[in-house]
Amino acid sequence: MPVSAKICGLSTEDTLGAAIAGGASHVGFVFFAPSPRDVDPARAAALVAMVPDHVRAVGVFVDPDDAAVERAVSVAGIDTLQLHKTAPSRVAALRARFGIETWAAVAVKTRADLDAARSYAGAADRILYDAKTPDGAALPGGMGVRFDWSLLDGFRHPLPWALSGGLDAGNVAEAVRRTGATLVDVSSGVESAPGVKDVDKIAAFLQSVAQL
Ligand SMILES: O=C(O)c1ccccc1NCC(=O)[C@H](O)[C@H](O)COP(=O)(O)O
């Protein structure tokens, strides 16, 4: 099964170009979050304009209100929502309102966290399993934290899914081998500093994925 990759938290033309040239299937833009990767929708619009039709432009949000999503969809032109810390009913409501592919991020540390993914069946199109960040962390993602992949052993996924959390060029092959993921997501693993994407690391990550 071929493996696809999402490069998350892009904010510059050169790093977006590296993601597209390297074969990313999805590129992610973080909106309205206290993140070094946050991009204004107007700025994101210039980036999304570079994204070819075969690559999905994903807007990443933390429990957004309708107005935030409206701005990102109408101004930036994203075609997929990735929702962190968002209840299933709210995910379903945003998916119905905006009518675009919608992912629910599920923060995983224990098997019980994983079981919570079941409540997104019928509400989302895809689950993004991400690592639970430490209590008090400013962000629910992009922290380079990895969860225990063995938690996924034998788990019956309620929806199509993607694997995230602490991935990089050096461990993505093992992650895919251990979990069977067919879509992987990375942010800090392709950065030289928080929020600073690195074109060489992006290329190396995508090369590792292409070799799977
Ligand atoms: O990356 C952020 O700054 C961010 C901010 C707010 C919500 C989510 C965020 N990132 C979500 C992602 O999809 C990351 O790619 C994912 O958490 C993996 O990050 P990393 O472990 O650094 O590869």
- At CB < 8 A and 24+ separation, what contacts does 177-183 make? 178/149, 178/150, 178/152, 179/149, 179/152, 180/152, 181/3, 182/1, 182/2, 182/3, 182/4, 183/3, 183/4, 183/5, 183/6, 183/25, 183/26, 183/126
Ligand 1 center to 204 CA (angstroms): 19
Examine the pLDDT at 51 and tell me if it is beyond 80. yes
Please give the Cα distance from 199 to 210 (Å, whole number): 16
Question: Per-residue confidence at 1, pLDDT binned at 50, 70, 90?
Answer: confident
pTM over 0.90: yes
> Measured from the CA of 61, which atom of ligand 1 is nearest?
7
pLDDT tens track for 97-132: 999 999 999 999 999 999 889 999 999 999 999 999
Reduce the DSSP state of residue 69 to 3 states and report it: helix
The residues carrying an active-site annotation are 8, 130
Ligand 1 center to 54 CA (angstroms): 22
Mean pLDDT taken over the chain: 96
Domain 4-210: homologous superfamily in CATH: Aldolase class I (3.20.20.70)
Q: Distances in Å between the alpha carbon of 41 and those of 44, 52, 72, 147? A: 5, 18, 5, 31
Cα dihedral 125, 143, 6, 199, rounded to 10, equals 170
Residues with a CB atom less than 6 Å from ligand 1? 8-9, 28, 30, 33, 35, 37, 60, 62, 84, 130, 139-145, 164-167, 185-189
Probe residue for ligand 1, chosen from 30, 80, 172, 205 as the CB with the greatest number of ligand atoms within 8 Å = 30
ipTM above 0.90, yes or no: yes
